[in-house]
Amino acid sequence: MACRRLACFVAALLLLAAAVAEAKEYAAIFNFGDSLVDAGNLVVDGIPDYLATGRLPYGMTYFGYPTGRCSDGRLVVDFIAQELGLPLLPPSKAKNATFHRGANFAITGATSLDTPFFCRELFRRSLFIVGEFGGNDYNSPLFAFRPLSEAHDFIPHVVDSIAEGVEKLIAEGAVELVVPGVLPIGCFPVYLSIFRKQPEMYGAKTGCIRDLNTLSWVHNAALQRKIVELRAKHPDVRIIYADYYTPAIQFVLHAEKYGQYSILPGLMAHDDPGRFSISEFLDRLMIRLNFVLGGRPANGPVRLVTAVCVQGFLKQTPRACCGAPGVGEYNFNLTSKCGEPGAYSCDDPSNHWSWDGIHLTEASYGHIAKGWLYGPFADPPILDNKHLG
């Protein structure tokens, strides 16, 4: 009862403070990357016959139809945009679209960063999400069954390419950049199905392929060192390292702890229910309170919490929600991938972290987005106290 009263008190206080909030924090978001954040650039001219991600059940959870996103619903960048009170970013190749609130330049299969340029003043008031990059670069030697050392040899070049892209954006006026690392690829059904290993090559607790996760870890460590260098070189620019690796590992190790708490109607900047764990909810309340009391916006109307529903990820071997039986228990089959004949979707994607064996579910992306916005999956969080106060 005490917690309920506290929640109502805090929510009412936020409602009052939001009424006097000033302009929004970011004027726009510009996003670059590959299929983890592609919002439809690959399908703006129509859906190619070969493109399974352009067919249902892709998009089933949120949009109700395929949008070109490689998930059942929203991606990390979509959650971030909505939480900041901005519209979903239009694909940069979209015709008759306006880009004054941002654009999504990501495209499935991207391997290197190419930066288009806009108004310098808009850049200074925008948030840039630069990646994830690297996954497709490493896939080239991996899927050709070349020695793993060849993929490791790519790491310095990939990281340097990302850094060059970041510096190009800074030169054009960008002052707020988010640079994500890569996922632990050894935990994903596509790799687990293709690369069969001896028992000792799998993590005892995760069931993931150790040497593939090491590749991801080495990339992320190199990227973080490069970000430290960039921060020293550009002290007036805020460069955030965003972590995909840790939350994905936690989804595998502690699935039951990532229950979905649906706050209806939640403390959101949009009309959609927000989903987050109890600890995330409490942290979010405190940060949002600091946010509005410090004179910054609460990103739209804030309403009282009226209901809480509990649901969790299933504790199971890494397994795709959408796919078909293949090698092992991973529900992934290269000849019948999600969206292709013979593949099917699980009944409830929100209790799976892996969507199609390659990409994540909307539920997973929601957790990661909130971890980037408020911590602990970003260094520093996009909306950390120091930045907001």
* Tokens (6 digits) for 116: 């288009």
Please tell me the distance from the alpha carbon of residue 50 to that of residue 195, in angstroms, as a whole number.
Answer: 25
Distances (CA, A) of 40 to 82, 182, 321: 18, 21, 21
Which candidate in 72, 137, 243, 356 is catalytic? Answer: 356
Nearest to 67 by CA among 98, 91, 33, 99: 91
Q: Are 264 and 307 in contact (CB under 8 A)?
A: yes
Clarify whether 92 is annotated catalytic: no
Q: Which of 71, 359, 364, 384 is catalytic?
A: 359
35 is a catalytic site residue: yes
Of the residues 34, 35, 126, 270, only one is catalytic, namely 35
Please state whether the peptide bond connecting residue 376 to the residue before it is cis, i.e. omega within 30 degrees of 0.
yes
Q: Which residues of 144-163 are buried (b: 16+ CB within 10 A; e: fewer)?
A: eeeebeebbebbeebbebbb
Q: What are phi and psi of 204, to 5 degrees?
A: -65, -35
DSSP secondary structure letters along 187-220: GSHHHHHHS---GGGB-TTT--BHHHHHHHHHHH
Alpha carbons 39 and 34: distance in angstroms, whole number: 10
Catalytic residues: 35, 356, 359
